[in-house]
Each structure stands twice: as C-alpha cells, then as structure tokens.
Structure 1
Amino acid sequence: MNNCVITIPIYKSSPNTYEKISFTQGVKVLSKWPIVIVTYEGLDISFYTEILEENKNDYTIHYFDQHYFNSVHTYNELMVNIDFYKTFQQYSHLLIYQTDCFIFKDDIQYWIDQSYSYIGAPWVVNNGTSQHFQYVGNGGFSLRNINDHIKVLQKSNNVLKCLFSTNPPLRLKTFFAYFRTSRKSTLYQDSYKNEDMFFGKNCSKTFKFFTIPTPVIASTFGIEYHADYCLSENNNHYPMGIHAWEKPENLIFWRKHIEKFGYQID
C-alpha cells in the first residue's frame, strides 16, 4: 500500500496572490508524493495544472459533485462523505492541503509513523487575559488515516447525512433520530458546526481506535492561530506547515518566514 496522497481542494479558477503562493509552495515541497486535485467538472483549473506540469509532479484530477464546492457547509459534507475516503483507499493516509496553507518542510513520513488517526493544528482559546489549548484540530491542513475515517463513517453515516445536509426536509425527517443518538453519545455533539470538530474532538472521545496527538504535539505538525503561544508551549518547535497564514493577525508573524522561500508578499 502506498503511504500518502496529497489532496488539494480547488473551487475557483483564478486564485489570489496568497493562494498562488500556497499552491506553488505545496506542490514544490510535497513533490515526492502523488497529488490529487479535488474539484468539479467544468471548472477551469489550467492555472494549477500548468504549475504541476512545470514542477513535474505526479498528479491526477478527481471530480466530485459541484454541490460540495458551493460553500463551507457543503465542503463539510464532502469531508464526512465515506465515498471521499474510499476514493483514496489505495493509500494509508491523505493530507488535506487547502489553498490557504503554507508548508515549510516535508515531514509527512514522520507523522505517518506516529500512527495517529487524525492530526491538525490545535485550536487555542484566548479569553483576553490568558490562552490555552482546547482541541485538535484544524482540518484545512490535516493528515488523516483513511481506514480509520472510513470505520468512523461506517458507524455514523446516516446521522451525519442529517447533520451536514443542506436539505431542510432531510434534516427535519431525521432530527429526532439525531436527538436520541446525540443524547447518548459524544460523537455528535456540536458536529453540525464543522467536520474537523467532528473528527478531531468527537471521534477521539467516542472511538478508542481513533487517536489524535496532544495539542502540544499537534502544534509541531501545524499551527493556525496564536503562533506565539503555540511556540511557547512546544519549546519553539516550528511546525511542518500552517493554515490561514494570510489572515492579517497571522501574516504579521509568518511573513518573514514565508519570504525566506523567495516569495514577495505585498
């Protein structure tokens, strides 16, 4: 079995300056791994394929229904769709690399060897006077054990279709089944918010086989917000990659680190 596939969701033809940097850096640093562009038929993705051809990446394109690329909510539907993971079942792991990520180094094999089911940047709570880690972790830059995700979804697929559906009649029809189930289980608590909360928080509490790192360890894999705090907690261990780096509060910190790779950020 091959170790890992890099999946890059693409939902628009013309990326902005930050997204161009993210994509270019990703396919350069991760060039030893097969890359799959996850998109929908009819979208012009020539900008991305030209870079992949230039860089001589091993890449393919996999199309899913356009519905999944309409909004954050519908993207969450895709991420809890068992067929998404079955598409890549010839691999042991997949890396989600959204186009607001930046990767500094390829430590993927190291993280695969740690045998976690799911790894993403930890979420940090800032109450104004103090900060603390809350959960692991963000899905935009995340490494996932494919079989473990399939096992979870096989056990919970019907309820998830309700929780993440954009179809009001379907949500209403299955609401009471969800209510009964959620009262008995940690699996579905707050699941309707985001798929990464479902996998990172709920699944790790519900299934013994579904393992995640501690927030401190996760911060050496990825950081999303509050970089200063994360680095102070993990002995100044810079992560493999970051998510949402272009946000103003993050760019202040990461600009100099990204520009070291030759990118000019205006």
Structure 2
Amino acid sequence: MQLFMGKPLVNIIIPIYKTDIDENERLSLQQCLNVLKAYPITIAKPLHLDVSTLVAEHPQLQVESFENKYFESIYGYNLLMLSTTFYQRFKEYDYILIYQLDAFVFRDELIEWCNKGYDYVGAPWVVKPKYNRFYYKLFFFFKANFYKLMNKPFKEYVIGGRVGNGGFSLRKVSSFLGVTTEKQNLIEQYLENSKKDNIFNEDVFWGLENPQFSYPGFQEALRFSIDHRPQISMELSGNIVPFGCHGWNKPGKIEFWMPFIQRYTAN
C-alpha cells in the first residue's frame, strides 16, 4: 500500500445505492477494479443495502455503510458529501478518489495526481468557445448582475472554467474535514438552496467556495478528467486522453466516449 507521511495515501470510494447495476455501470466498476487494483477500493452504501453478492464477486472491495437518508435523493448525496461524518470515516487516508459508476478510468495516474498536492481536482466546467468572445462576456456580466439583484444563481457565469465536477474527483481528506467543520453555516445554505437548483450541488461548493484550496488550472484539470462537452474539452486539452472521465454513458456523450472506452478497457 502506498504511504504518505506515514499513512495510507489514497482510497477509492464508489458510492452506490442499488445492487442491480446496469451493463455500463458494471463496465465502469470492472475497469476501476482492474486499473486501480493497487489501491484500497471501498463501496460507500446505505445501511439497508445488502452488497454481499457484489463483494463475493469482487472480494477486493471494502465496504463502508452510512445512514439510508444519504442515498435517497440528490439532496441526500449532497448532504453526505458535505458532511464531517463522511470524511471522518476516511481520515486515515491523505486522499480519496470519488468514483461514481458513470465514471471511467483510462489508466493508472492516481499516485501522480496525489503527489501534486492539490486539495480538490475534478473535471473543469467547460463553456462553449463562443462564450469567450467579448460581447458574450459583456452580455453574461450584465445578466449575472441582474440575476444577483433577483437573488438567483446564473450557472454559466458562476462555474464556467472552474474546477470541478465531483463524480470523478480527488479530495484531500484533511482539507475537506477542516471545511466541513469550519463552514457549517455556508454548507447549510448550500444544502437548502440545492433543493431548488443544482448550481448548489456539493461539487460546486467545493469548487467555488474555498479560496484557500489549491486547485489545478483549467488546462491541467482537463488532463485529470473530462465531463461537460467532451469533444470540445478533448480539443482544448490537445487531444490528450485524460486520467478518467465522468458521465460517459449519458446520451450525447456515449457515442464520443465509446471508441476510447473500447480501446482502454482492461482485459
């Protein structure tokens, strides 16, 4: 097991809420188990869920159970990912890699990314290239201020170009524990607002509300993972296949990703 400062370096966390995973999810799971087999891999599941069959199929899997409420809705998942309870469970590790079952890892670069020392790494939120033109920026500036007056979030202006998506993300446990302890009031505001708008999902909180965090730049983050607008993102990265991707099985994305997945699928 890799060690950092005398403790285990990283644990891969796979959140699941059901055992009847579909073919694409099974492919994502198997790829994770094959490519990242050198590391601890842990299922994070609700208390009520029996995963004994899944663990029997894949005995390298470890299991951590959390209250059922965390897996019943997107709000519940936000609650878990913004809780001290979650990160406390993995405090013996320096990092955790969140690997949802709509993620796909192409090759093992995990140690390299941990060694960079960032607090949070995820796929950057990519805006359409035309939105970088001056008149679009001016339009968005005024629109964002109008939304601010109306006390409404303006997603494209807020998260465009920032890091990053949480579905395949590397998180420094000590930093996340500190924030979940110190920023409870802001976290509660996010959770309340997340009931109405996904701009307040947990990964947006981690990407926007922690200026003390160390993040990779936009270009470097594209080499870690790609989520939104995969074709544009790949072009922006210089056509370098990233460490992993997220949301590959969604309509409009699966056609782009499938040739890469077939090429990199571990045997």
Query: Shorter chain as normaliser: what TM range?
Result: 0.7 to 0.9
- AA aligned to 2:119 is S
- Per-residue deviation at 1:163? 3.4
Unmatched 5+ stretches in structure 2: 1-6, 134-159
Is the 8 Å Cα contact of residues 80 and 160 (structure 1) preserved in structure 2?
A: yes
Residue 70 to residue 113, structure 1, CA distance change in 2 (3 Å): same
Residue of structure 2 in register with 1:199 after alignment? 206
- Choose the corresponding residue for 1:221, options 221, 224, 244: 224
Structure 1 residue ranges (4+ consecutive) displaced by more than 6 angstroms after TM superposition: none
Distance (whole Å) between structure 1 residues aligned to residue 244 and residue 79 of structure 2: 25
Larger RCO: Structure 1 or Structure 2 (Cα < 8 Å, ≥ 6 residues apart)? 2
Is the 8 Å Cα contact of residues 190 and 205 (structure 2) preserved in structure 1?
A: no
Residue of structure 2 in register with 1:232 after alignment? 235
Residue of structure 1 in register with 2:80 after alignment? 78
Give CA-to-partner distance per residue, 1:104-143, whole Å, 9 cap, x none.
111010001111000000111238x457952110000000
Residue of structure 2 in register with 1:24 after alignment? 30
Residue of structure 2 in register with 1:250 after alignment? 253
**1:1-266 matches, cutoff 5 A:** 1-53=7-59, 57=60, 59-126=61-128, 129-130=130-131, 134-164=161-191, 193-203=200-210, 205=211, 207=212, 210-261=213-264
The normalised TM-score by structure 1 is: 0.81
Residue 64 to residue 227, structure 1, CA distance change in 2 (3 Å): same
- Per-residue deviation at 1:228? 2.2
Comparing 44-53 with 243-252, which one deviates more in the overlay? 44-53
Unmatched 5+ stretches in structure 1: 169-189
Identity of aligned residues (%): 34
The normalised TM-score by structure 2 is: 0.80
Residue 258 to residue 160, structure 1, CA distance change in 2 (3 Å): same
Report the aligned-residue RMSD.
Answer: 2.2
> How many residues are paired up?
232
Distance (whole Å) between structure 2 residues aligned to residue 71 and residue 62 of structure 1: 19
Is the 8 Å Cα contact of residues 106 and 265 (structure 2) preserved in structure 1?
A: no
